[in-house]
Chain A
Amino acid sequence: MNQANPGSILGGWLAPHPPHLVYAENPPQNEPRSRGGWEGLRWAYDHCRARIKEQRPDVIVVHSPHWQTVVGHHVLAVKNLRGLSVDPIFPHLFRYHFDLEVDTELADAIYDEARLAGLTAKRMINPDFRVDYGTIVSLHMMNPDWDIPVVAISANNSPYFYDDDVAQDEMTRLGEATRAAIVRTGRRAVLAASNTLSHLHFSREPNPDLPEDMSREHVFSQPQYEWDMRVIELMRAGKTSELMAILPEFMREAFAEVKAGSLTWMLSAMGFPEIPAKFHGYGSVIGTGNAVMEWDLSAARLGGVR
Chain B
Amino acid sequence: MSFAYACLVPGLPHILAPGNHGAYRALAAAMVRAGDDMQERGIRRLLYFSTQWLSVLGHLIQARPHVVGRHVDENWHDLPEVGSLPFDFKIDVPLAEATCAALNQANFQSRLVNYEGFPIDTGTIVADRLINRHGFTANMLSCCVYSGYDDTKRLMRTVTRAVAADGVPTALVVVSGLSGRYFTTVIDPQEDHISDPGDDVWNRRILALMEQGQQVELEQAVADYARQCKVDMGFKALAVLAGAGIFDRPAQLVTRAYGSIYGTGAAVVTVP
Could you tell me if B53 and A88 are in contact, using CB atoms closer than 8 angstroms?
Answer: yes
Q: Does B83 make an interface contact (CB < 8 A)?
A: yes
The verdict on B37 contacting chain A, using a C-beta distance below 8 Å, is: no
Residues of A within 8 A of B117 (CB): 83-86, 95
Q: Is the CB of A70 within 8 A of B121?
A: no
Number of interface residues of A (CB under 8 A): 37
The main secondary structure of chain B at its interface with chain A is loop
Residues of B within 8 A of A203 (CB): 56-58, 146
**In the complex, are the beta carbons of B118 and A71 less than 8 A apart?**
no
Query: Does B224 belong to the interface (CB within 8 Å)?
Result: no
Q: Assess the A69–B78 pair: CB atoms within 8 A.
A: no
* Given the contacts A68-B74, A71-B75, A208-B111, A161 and B57 also touching, CB distance less than 8 Å: no
Where chain A touches its partner, the secondary structure class is loop
Q: Is A179 an interface residue (CB 8 A)?
A: no
Q: For residues 176 through 235 of chain B, which have their beta carbon under 8 Å from a beta carbon of chain A?
A: 181-186, 230
Contact with B along A89-104 (1 / 0, CB 8 A): 1111001000000000
Q: Kindly state whether residue B102 has any CB partner on chain A within 8 Å.
A: no
A126 at the A/B interface (Cβ < 8 Å)? yes
Scan residues 125-178 of chain A and give those whose CB is less than 8 A from a CB of chain B. 125-126, 128-130, 132, 154, 156, 158, 161
> Which of B84, B111, B181 contacts A161, CB < 8 Å?
B181
Q: How far is the CA of A109 from the CA of B172 in the complex (A)?
A: 47
Using a CB–CB distance below 8 Å, which chain A residues touch chain B? 67-72, 74, 83-86, 88-92, 95, 120, 122, 124-126, 128-130, 132, 154, 156, 158, 161, 201-205, 208, 286
Interfacial residues, chain B to chain A (CB-CB below 8 A): 53-58, 60, 70-72, 74-75, 77-78, 83-84, 109, 111, 113, 115-119, 121, 146, 181-186, 230, 262
- If A86-B117, A122-B78, A202-B57 are given as contacts, then 12 extra A-B residue pairs at C-beta distance below 8 Å, sorted by A number, are A68-B74, A88-B118, A88-B121, A120-B185, A128-B70, A128-B84, A129-B72, A156-B184, A161-B181, A161-B184, A203-B56, A203-B146
Please provide the 5 A-B residue pairs with the shortest distance between their CB atoms, ordered closest to farther: A84-B117, A126-B77, A70-B182, A86-B117, A128-B84
